[in-house]
C-alpha cells in the first residue's frame, strides 16, 4: 500500500511538472491539460458565480466576469490573473464606467453621439484608474462599458462593491482550483517571496483576506442585513488596501 501511494504521488508530481508547467499551460500552446482543466474551471467558475448571485440576491454583470473566469482558469501565469488586478480592477473600472456615463450625459445629452461619448469616456476613465491603482485587468474594461449601453441590474452606487464581490468569488475559486496542480498566484519578478504560502506581498494577502471575509458576510444578505453591511465595509476596506499599498511602498523606497 505504501508503495502504491508513493507511485501515485510520483505520477502526480510528474503530471504537475509536465502538463501544468508555464511553458505548456499558457496561451499559444494547445495542451490537453489546458483544454480539459482550464476549460472546465472557467465554466464551473461562472456557474458558481451565477449560483451565488441567485442565492444571495447580489446582482453582478456576468459578461465581464465570464472573461475573468477564462483568464483565471486558462491564463493563470499572466499578471492580470493575480488576485489584486481581478478584484481591484473590476471595482475601479465600475467607478470609471459610472463616471463616464455621467460625463457623457453632461457633454452629449440629447445628441446622436451620446452613447459613443459615454462608451469612450467610460473605458478611458477605467483604463486610467486601473493603471493608477496597479490593477490592469482587461475584462474590467467591459465592466466599465456596460453601464453606458445597458440598464444595470442593481442601483448604480452598488455596482463597484457588487463587482468586487463577484471578482472575489473568482479569486477564491482560482486559489482552490489551480493550486491542485501548481502555485497560484504564480511567482513573477515582482512577487518572488512567499507570505502565508502565497506569492503575494504581506499587504496584498491582508487586503485579499479582508475581501474574503467581506465576501462571506455579504453572502448573508438575505439572512442578516447587519452582517451584509459589515461585509460591505470589509470589502471596501480590503479593496482600498489592495489598491493603495503600492503607493506606500513607493514612498518607503523614495
Total domains, the chain: 1
Backbone angles phi, psi at 195, to 5 degrees: -135, 125
For the chain, the residue count is 254
Domain that holds residue 125: 2-253
pLDDT in tens, 140-153: 999 999 999 999 99
Beta-bridge mates of residue 188: 191
Rounded average pLDDT over 55-73: 97
pLDDT exceeds 80 at position 134? yes
| C-alpha cell recorded at residue 44 | 464551473
Rounded average pLDDT over 76-80: 95
Q: Where is average pLDDT lowest: 115-124, 191-200, 210-219?
A: 191-200
- DSSP class of residue 202 equals H
SS3 content of the chain, % helix, strand, coil (to 5): 70, 0, 25
State the DSSP H helix or E strand holding residue 120, giving kind and residue range, or none if neither: helix 114-132
Task: Give pTM, 2 decimals.
Answer: 0.91
| C-alpha cell recorded at residue 235 | 470589502
pLDDT in tens, 166-186: 999 999 999 999 999 999 999
Q: Where is average pLDDT lowest: 16-30, 92-106, 129-143, 155-169?
A: 16-30
Cα–Cα separations (whole angstroms), residue 155 to 69, 73, 122, 184: 24, 30, 17, 34
Amino acid at each position: 500500500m505504501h508503495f502504491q501511494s508513493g507511485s501515485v504521488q510520483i505520477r502526480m508530481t510528474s503530471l504537475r511538472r509536465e502538463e501544468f508547467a508555464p511553458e505548456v499551460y499558457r496561451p499559444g500552446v494547445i495542451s490537453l491539460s489546458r483544454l480539459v482543466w482550464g476549460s472546465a474551471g472557467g465554466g464551473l467558475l461562472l456557474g458558481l458565480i451565477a449560483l451565488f448571485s441567485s442565492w444571495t440576491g447580489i446582482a453582478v454583470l456576468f459578461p465581464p466576469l465570464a472573461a475573468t473566469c477564462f483568464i483565471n482558469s486558462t491564463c493563470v501565469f499572466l499578471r492580470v490573473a493575480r488576485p489584486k488586478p481581478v478584484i481591484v480592477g473590476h471595482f475601479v473600472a465600475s467607478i470609471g464606467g459610472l463616471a463616464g456615463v455621467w460625463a457623457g450625459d453632461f457633454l452629449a445629452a440629447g445628441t446622436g453621439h451620446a452613447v459613443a461619448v459615454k462608451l469612450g469616456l467610460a473605458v478611458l476613465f477605467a483604463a486610467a484608474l486601473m493603471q493608477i491603482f496597479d490593477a490592469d485587468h482587461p475584462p474590467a474594461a467591459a465592466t466599465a462599458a456596460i453601464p453606458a449601453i445597458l440598464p444595470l441590474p442593481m442601483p448604480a452606487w452598488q455596482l463597484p462593491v457588487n463587482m468586487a464581490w463577484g471578482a472575489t468569488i473568482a479569486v477564491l475559486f482560482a486559489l482552490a482550483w489551480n493550486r491542485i496542480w501548481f502555485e497560484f498566484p504564480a511567482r513573477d519578478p515582482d512577487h518572488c517571496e512567499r507570505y502565508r504560502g502565497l506569492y503575494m506581498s504581506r499587504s496584498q494577502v491582508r487586503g485579499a483576506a479582508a475581501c474574503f471575509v467581506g465576501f462571506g458576510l455579504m453572502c448573508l444578505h438575505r439572512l442578516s442585513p447587519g452582517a451584509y453591511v459589515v461585509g460591505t465595509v470589509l470589502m471596501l476596506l480590503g479593496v482600498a488596501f489592495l489598491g493603495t499599498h503600492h503607493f506606500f511602498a513607493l514612498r518607503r523606497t523614495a
